[in-house]
Amino acid sequence: MDSEALKKYSALHPKPAGLALQYGTAGFRTKAEQLDHVMFRMGLLAVLRSKATVSTIGIMVTASHNPEEDNGVKLVDPLGEMLHPAWEGYATQLANAEEQELQKIITEICQKAAVNQDKDASVVIGRDTRPSSEKLSQSVIDGISVLGGQYHDYGLVTTPQLHYMVCCRNTQGQYGKATLEGYYEKLSKAFMELIKQSPSSGESQRHLKIDCANGIGALKLAEMEPYFPKEMLIHLYNDGTKEKLNHLCGADFVKVHQKQPRGLDLKPNERCCSFDGDADRIVYYYEDTTGHFHLIDGDKIATLISIFLKELLAKVGQTLEMAVVQTAYANGSSTRYLEETLKVPVHCVKTGVKHLHHKAQEFDVGVYFEANGHGTVLFSKAAETKIRQLAKEEKDDEKREAAKVLENMIDLINQTVGDAISDMLVIEAILALKGLTVQQWDAIYTDLPNRLLKVQVADRRVIDTTDAERRAVTPPGLQEKIDALVKKYKLSRAFVRPSGTEDVVRIYTEADTQENADALAHEVSLAVYHLAGGRGAPPQP
């Protein structure tokens, strides 16, 4: 390590005095002007991680669904998964180090993580369309270069595309070709194979309106369009040419406000979907003939995929174990439908994609989605090998055909991370193959009315939870109070959890009517305000 060069370059990316950041589920995220030093240092860390794993590591510059003024960065591990938890700690340590301690902390990380300094390092970089992203990714490159790492800059890509590239490079191309064309070809080929089997193949055109959140999704869908079959017609809205990223549009806006995004006119019963700013989340929606807005969120997406995969697995006749992984935010109706009607085991884990991904890896087929529309399906190595073998060698026609459909699903799904483009194609293929309209999909079950609220508190750490965040352990008396409130309403449940990013407590309630869900949410928010150190004026109904 050239300590003079490190000193010189580090001084070009100074840390603002008194700024402390934490690497969370979403990496680092804050106002773009505060991130220059963090980007430089994450370039350094990626080189160390690459040497430690003897693999290519990814760095994505994005703040996903945050406002355009923000930015962020996350590291991608060798198989396209999220950064190892121990290294999240190193990232926080390195980002917050004073300039004169940098060298010492790098040496400490190398000792703790057994980093062999003589190994080569290789890092790939991607960025979203924010005005600040290009300059910040240059700071990342400075960090990589100072420690002598090799890098490839993919430039403008969706977050899931970068995860895909990392996985391709570290599986020597087994997962796919590590180029954008490779990504488009792999997905479109699988999609075409699936669509060919659909009852109305060829004659009816499939129209889909897509709100791209004025983000990277619009650019990449436009690039991918020539690869789509001619019957698939996509119409892009909020493509970033006129408005600000994520402003009154995108998956997060639609999910939270339960209404259509700005810039997209809904006609009755038209299928529409929204991506978020870096295209790793998707939600669907439509308006019925009475003008009522219907949201189809991650829970309903997981249910549709589960129904389809369960039928195929039954046809193939293999004893492959399938499960669905959810968080406490999943609507109670979806859990009930999956467990009681579909007879698929459901597991609840803590909020945060890494917890869902980790749990889904325990099954032959693990379907996971957060209600916000982030999710995917994981196939175990053994399951994938078995399915591909049956698609090739099975003598029984029906079994072989079912195995082929499963094989194409495996290729269409981005198993590294939730991917709005891939998930959209999976959904479109299933709707076509099952001959379902968006209304029929929506009618599989009826969501229980629910409400999300947040309460400002002095310190979010006063709330500690257990049972996958469904019960509060501290402060004393809070859970008892919630239990008593829940008893007042039919089909109700409520839970509170500290935000991962700010001093607020998030509240979620469900009940038999919207009025009751709202009333319960208000009563729980008052309990949190009084028992957990609320700030400002008490919550108003």
33 with 43, same domain? Answer: yes
Q: What CATH number has the domain bearing residue 363?
A: 3.40.120.10
- Position 199 scores a pLDDT of 76
Does 160 show up as a binding residue in the annotation? no
Distance of CA 5 to the CA centre of its chain: 37
338 with 414, same domain? Answer: yes
335 with 215, same domain? Answer: no
> Does the active-site annotation cover 380?
no
- Domain membership flag for residue 196: no
Other beta carbons within 10 angstroms of residue 291's beta carbon come to 8
Does 502 show up as a binding residue in the annotation? no
- Domain membership flag for residue 113: yes
- Let me know if 22 is exposed, middle or buried by CB neighbors in 10 A (0-12, 13-18, 19+): middle
Q: What is the 3-state secondary structure (H, E, C) of 68-122?
A: CCEEEEEEECCCCCECCHHHHHHHHHHHHCCHHHHHHHHHHHHHHCCCCCCCCCE
Confidence of residue 303 (pLDDT cuts 50, 70, 90): very high
Does 518 show up as a binding residue in the annotation? no
> 512-537: per-residue pLDDT in tens?
999 999 999 999 999 999 999 999 99
- Domain membership flag for residue 321: yes
- Let me know if 55 is exposed, middle or buried by CB neighbors in 10 A (0-12, 13-18, 19+): middle
Does 371 show up as a binding residue in the annotation? yes
> 83-141: per-residue pLDDT in tens?
999 999 999 999 999 999 999 999 999 999 999 989 999 999 999 999 999 999 999 99
116 with 27, same domain? Answer: yes
Confidence of residue 541 (pLDDT cuts 50, 70, 90): confident
Final residue of a domain: which of 418, 439, 473? 418
Q: Is the peptide bond before 475 cis (omega within 30 degrees of 0)?
A: yes
Final residue of a domain: which of 252, 269, 296? 296
141 with 11, same domain? Answer: yes
Does 158 show up as a binding residue in the annotation? no
311 with 361, same domain? Answer: yes
Confidence of residue 3 (pLDDT cuts 50, 70, 90): confident
pLDDT averaged over the chain?
A: 95
- Position 198 scores a pLDDT of 80
174 with 37, same domain? Answer: yes
Question: Based on the structure, what is the number of domains in the chain?
Answer: 4
Contact between residue 139 and residue 151 where contact means Cβ atoms under 8 Å apart: no
Residue 24 has pLDDT above 90, yes or no: no
488 with 391, same domain? Answer: no
- Domain membership flag for residue 414: yes
- Domain membership flag for residue 441: no
Does 525 show up as a binding residue in the annotation? no
151 with 262, same domain? Answer: no
Does 49 show up as a binding residue in the annotation? no
Residues counted in the chain: 541
Final residue of a domain: which of 296, 320, 349? 296
- Position 318 scores a pLDDT of 77
23 with 162, same domain? Answer: yes
Tokens of 365: 């087929």
Contact between residue 511 and residue 490 where contact means Cβ atoms under 8 Å apart: yes
- Position 275 scores a pLDDT of 98
164 with 66, same domain? Answer: yes
Does 506 show up as a binding residue in the annotation? yes
Point out the catalytic residue in the list 10, 64, 122, 188.
64
Q: What pTM was computed for the model?
A: 0.94
Does 92 show up as a binding residue in the annotation? no
457 with 411, same domain? Answer: no
Contact between residue 496 and residue 462 where contact means Cβ atoms under 8 Å apart: no
Q: Which domain holds residue 497?
A: 450-532
Does 483 show up as a binding residue in the annotation? no
Residue 502 has pLDDT above 90, yes or no: no
Tokens of 305: 């995929």
